[in-house]
A and B are shown apart, each in its own frame.
Chain A
Amino acid sequence: MLAAMKNRKSILELGIHFDHIRQKTWTVLNPMKPADGSIINETDLTGPILFCIALEATLLLAGKVQFGYVYGMSAIGCLVIHALLNLMSSSGVSYGCVASVLGYCLLPMVILSGCAMFFSLQGTFGTVSSLVIIGWCSLSASKIFIAALHMEGQQLLVAYPCALLYGLFALLTIF
């Protein structure tokens, strides 16, 4: 009992707040709900790393061993979006924040690659569902960025590069 309490305390010491992770995950999973800007400002990479590992696990189970590409693409994509957001918004944004948000919005992609385990995505249904998932991911990501950085009238402009990045991930999942 004491050991369990100590473990819980040590996890909190690391800065992992489970309720924040849950809140952010629900924000991603529900693209229609407006995002709360304050929770986004924490640079929390626990969720994203978990989702990345889940994505790689599902890719592995589907028979594709492409870990290097996942890491490389995500790093370059994060850099480009970080530069773009710094130039487009009036307040700056840190790299960790960008990586965190993009990682959280990778969750629907994990669902897509989970489906890829059971049936091939190369038909019409696969193309349509991956387009829907890409749209979902990029809309969530842009919604969170807009809320956190107070940008107006730029949601589609932020969503487009995110869509390109998630499109690359989808290509990795399909082919």
Chain B
Amino acid sequence: MPGLASKRRIPVSQPGMADPHQLFDDTSSTQSRGYGAQRAPGGLGYPAASATPQAAFLADPVSNMAMAYGSSLAAQGKELVDKNIDRFIPVTKLKYYFAVDTMYVGRKLGLLFFPYLHQDWEVQYQQDTPVAPRFDVNAPDLYIPAMAFITYVLVAGLALGTQDRFSPDLLGLQASSALAWLTLEVVAILLSLYLVTVNTDLTTIDLVAFLGYKYVGMIGGVLMGLLFGKIGYYLVLGWCCVAIFVFMIRTLRLKILAEAAAEGVPVRGARNQLRMYLTMAVAAAQPLLMYWLTFHLVR
């Protein structure tokens, strides 16, 4: 911490030197009580204090310049990150997917394990934009897939640990292979949607959300496998596979198939047949991947 080090030095006052305040942009007194968000240089481990008692150690011009340079560099860096992060990660769009609350998560998890009794799978709209997940259990969210993915990696580590095969790089390997399979799935589905020329409002993030729901079933299977052995694993995994198959069919049907077919009226035509096959293929890929990514964890 540079502040502490220079405090131990004897401050040398130099006659004829300008007021140290002019070299140091003092933002601490106005913002030390406010949100940490604005204090870019003061964020990590550099507690804010008012400038007057610092006059003694700021009398040294080198430390003055260093502080001014450092704080301007940090501020510039933060600006750069803030400006560019919106280019790579659409933060405002992502915020929609995280607008969840505990009731929604509970109901959605129930739906993922038991989708058979749910009747209405349409997402409600409010003036052309879909309603936030908080208000409609059918809306896709990213909280559950993200947490499920992280939990899956940790549970995989636990499972490997009980088999005495644990090492931190194996955990990283697990995580990156699961991520790679997810990316492959998303790309394959987007490609096939493009080839079949389907006009849907299924965005990439929606697709990632739907494909991430299978991790919940995988976690359940592996945990049961850890507690009750192979029988428990196969039973729970089988149940979750069927459940996720039904869930995906019912959800994707509304997005991919034409409106008439979605209501249950069988529509002839090669196009709708193709879309039906696509939906079934996507839904069938889920149980396969669920088995593929977990069977080596349960012995």
B-chain residues with CB within 8 Å of residue A94 when the two chains form the complex? 35-37, 39, 43
Is there an interface contact between B150 and A154, defined as CB atoms closer than 8 Å?
Answer: no
B49–A13 CB distance below 8 A: yes
Which B41-56 residues have a C-beta within 8 angstroms of A?
42-45, 47-50, 53-54
Binary flags per residue of A91-110, CB closer than 8 Å to B gives 1, else 0: 11111110100000000000
Beta-carbon contact of A96 and B91 below 8 Å:
no
Decide if A84 is an interface residue (CB 8 Å cutoff): yes
The closest CB in chain B to the CB of A90 belongs to B95
* Chain A residues touching B, majority SS: helix
- Residues in A with CB closer than 8 Å to B188 are none
- Indicate if the CB atoms of B101 and A153 lie closer than 8 Å: yes
Task: Give B43-83 as 1s and 0s: 1 = Cβ < 8 Å from A's Cβ atoms.
Answer: 11101111001100000000000000000000000000000
* A9: B residues at CB distance < 8 A: 53
Stretch of A22-30, A43-51, A113-121, A125-133 contacting B (4+ beta carbons < 8 Å): A43-51
B54–A156 contact, CB under 8 A?
A: no
Contact assessment for B95 and A87 in the assembled complex, using a CB-CB cutoff below 8 Å: yes
Kindly provide the distance from the CB of B159 to the nearest chain A CB, expressed in whole angstroms. 13
> What are the residues of chain A within 8 A of B97 when measuring CB–CB?
87
Contacts of A154 in B (CB 8 A): 100-102
CA distance A115 to B105 in the complex (A): 36
Contacts of B94 in A (CB 8 A): 87
Nearest Cβ on chain B to A65's Cβ, whole angstroms: 16
Q: Is A152 an interface residue (CB 8 A)?
A: yes
| A interface residues, tally (CB under 8 Å) | 38
A29 → chain B, closest Cβ, in Å? 23
Does chain B have a CB within 8 A of A71? no
User: In whole angstroms, how far apart are the Cα atoms of A33 and B235 in the complex?
Assistant: 43
- Does residue A70 face the partner (Cβ distance < 8 Å to B)? no
Q: Which residues of A contact B103 (CB under 8 A)?
A: 153
In whole Å, how far is A42's beta carbon from the nearest beta carbon of chain B? 7
- Set of chain A residues within 8 Å of B154, measured between Cβ atoms: 164, 167-168
A152 touches B44 (CB 8 A): no
Q: Across the interface, name the chain A residue whose C-beta is closest to B45.
A: A45
* Contact residues of B between 111 and 140, Cβ < 8 Å to A: none
Q: Is the pair B101, A15 in contact by a Cβ cutoff of 8 Å? A: no
When distances are taken between beta carbons in the complex, the residues of chain A under 8 Å from B48 are 15, 43
| Chain A: minimal CB distance from B243 (Å) | 22
* Interchain CA distance A46-B39 in the complex, whole Å: 17
Kindly provide the distance from the CB of B165 to the nearest chain A CB, expressed in whole angstroms: 15
Q: Is A111 engaged at the interface, CB distance under 8 Å to the other chain? A: no
Closest Cβ neighbor of A80 among chain B residues: B150
A14 touches B44 (CB 8 A): no
Mark B residues whose CB is within 8 Å of A.
3-4, 7, 32-37, 39, 42-45, 47-50, 53-54, 91, 94-95, 97-103, 105, 143, 146-147, 150-151, 154
Closest 9 CB pairs of A and B: A15-B47, A94-B36, A153-B101, A43-B36, A96-B43, A87-B98, A13-B53, A15-B49, A97-B36
